[in-house]
Amino acid sequence: MTGVATRQTLRRPGRSWDSGGMTTTLTPRRAPRRLATGAAERRRTSRRATGAAVSKSQTVTPDARSTLFTVRFMIALLLMVAGIAWLVFYYVQGRGNPLAVPPVPGSPKAVSDLGDWNYAIGFGLLMLGLIVSAHPSTPLGRGRGVVVGMLACFLIGLIWICTFYVFSDDLSNLWVFNDLGQWNLVVGIAFMAVGFSFATKWE
């Protein structure tokens, strides 16, 4: 030893001793608020990424969602109108009058020769248009439009089948029904099946 008293500091948890015998309280150092805020922000971002509700279609832009008449919706409308127009034209013009004596042939002959396949074409275009419209980029494929499209298809299919069963003994006075016969059941089921394409878009 050199004769000079060395000062030592005794430390205990939460308390320290200086050279004069006085005690001082040690305050634990806190993490910077910036780091804590950054960690909380990362947790919130992760929670949003895993638990937030997102659209089932990731390819639809916000502009497409806010636009009423998109290209897809116009195509869907065109298909539905074409299907209905084909059915009406065939029944009124192309079908002729098979109940007349003698039967009156329809025109044009190319359409008349297709016979009941015209109903497959007309209803096929109509169903395809409904399926195309069941997309988030169209008004019927998002929000309340999904519910409207789904319920409409279910109700039309149910009414079609019930109408066939109620009037099955005499369908002569019901347009289209009198030509389809048992195929009316297929039409009703097809409408209900298309309704499920809207149900899958219900968020």
pLDDT tens digits, one per residue of 114-130: 999 999 999 999 999 99
* 15, β-bridge pairs: 12, 25
How far does CA 187 lie from the centroid of its chain? 23
Tokens of 54: 């997102």
Kindly report, residue by residue over 69-79, the tens digit of the pLDDT.
789 999 999 99
pLDDT at 89: 95
Which residues 6+ apart lie within 8 Å of 8 measured at CB?
A: 19
Residue 173 lies in a domain: yes
CA–CA separation, 190 vs 182, rounded Å?
14
- Structural domain boundaries enclosing 107: 65-199
Residue 159 lies in a domain: yes
pLDDT at 3: 45
Percent of the chain scoring above 70 in pLDDT: 66
Which of 32, 176, 41 is closest to 167 using CA atoms? 176
Residue 80 lies in a domain: yes
Residue 85 lies in a domain: yes
What DSSP character marks residue 152? H
Kindly report, residue by residue over 30-45, the tens digit of the pLDDT.
544 554 455 555 555 5
10-residue mean pLDDT series, the chain (203 residues): 45 50 53 49 51 46 63 95 96 85 85 92 96 91 91 96 94 90 95 93 75
Which of 128, 81, 125, 91 is closest to 111 using CA atoms? 91
pLDDT at 54: 39
Residue 55 lies in a domain: no
Q: How many structural domains are present in the chain?
A: 1
Residue 84 lies in a domain: yes
Residue 11 lies in a domain: no
CA–CA separation, 199 vs 203, rounded Å?
9
Residue 122 lies in a domain: yes
Q: Which residues of 43-79 are buried (b: 16+ CB within 10 A; e: fewer)?
A: eeeeeeeeeeeeeeeeebeeebbeeeebebbeebeeb
pLDDT at 26: 53
